[in-house]
Amino acid sequence: MTDKKQTTYERIGRIIELSNQLEARVKKIICTYLDIKDVKKKDFIQDIMLNNMLLNFSNKVKLFRHLNQQEAWPKFPAASYITIFNIRNIVAHNSVRENVSIEVIEGLGAFTRTNHETVTGSGTLETKQLVDLEKDFDESLKIITAHLREVIEIQAIHPDNN
């Protein structure tokens, strides 16, 4: 959860970093699943084919989702991944400076709110507050993390040992 004393930039950075960590985890699970013994081939898959500059997070998740279906692992939390992707993109591609508003509440002082604009699937422009985005992000991350733990347990995949 977010520390109330963090700056807006730190809060946005937290979302981006946690998204990057999740991507690395998915990548490791895919590589571990492949169980490639040849070090050169394993390094090629992990460092080149699944490199973040060549294969984006969304496509890694598609590979992982395929494995999830093929191996009949626990129900894949597709909606949670979509939420993570969307929120990461909202905060990464919106200017903080242009979206800050100050709200003054008599007796309580001034509060800074960071609003982020996004376009829904139907083309409607929506404005969301960072605090709400963080809440949705954290809920989705919790669901995904639980799923990853189940997959690791079921398959005896230990990506941190590779």
* Residue-level pLDDT, tens digit, the chain, 162 residues: 555 567 878 888 999 999 999 999 999 999 989 999 999 999 999 999 999 999 999 999 999 999 999 999 999 999 999 999 999 988 888 766 555 444 445 555 544 556 666 666 777 777 788 888 999 999 999 999 999 999 988 876 655 554
| Domain assignment present for 73 | yes
Q: Please say whether the beta carbons of 26 and 64 come within 8 A.
A: yes
Domain count, the chain: 1
Question: Does residue 3 form part of some domain?
Answer: no
In a domain, 1, yes or no: no
Residue 27 lies in a domain: yes
Tell me, yes or no, whether 81 lies in a domain.
Answer: yes
pTM given for the model: 0.80
71 lies in which domain range?
A: 8-161
Q: For residue 35, report the phi and psi dihedrals to the nearest 5 degrees.
A: 50, 50
Q: Under DSSP, is residue 3 helix (H, G, I), strand (E, B) or coil?
A: coil
Q: Is 122 exposed, middle or buried (0-12, 13-18, 19+ CB in 10 A)?
A: exposed
Rounded to 5°, the CA angle 153-140-72 comes to: 40
Burial of 65 (0-12, 13-18, 19+ CB in 10 A): middle
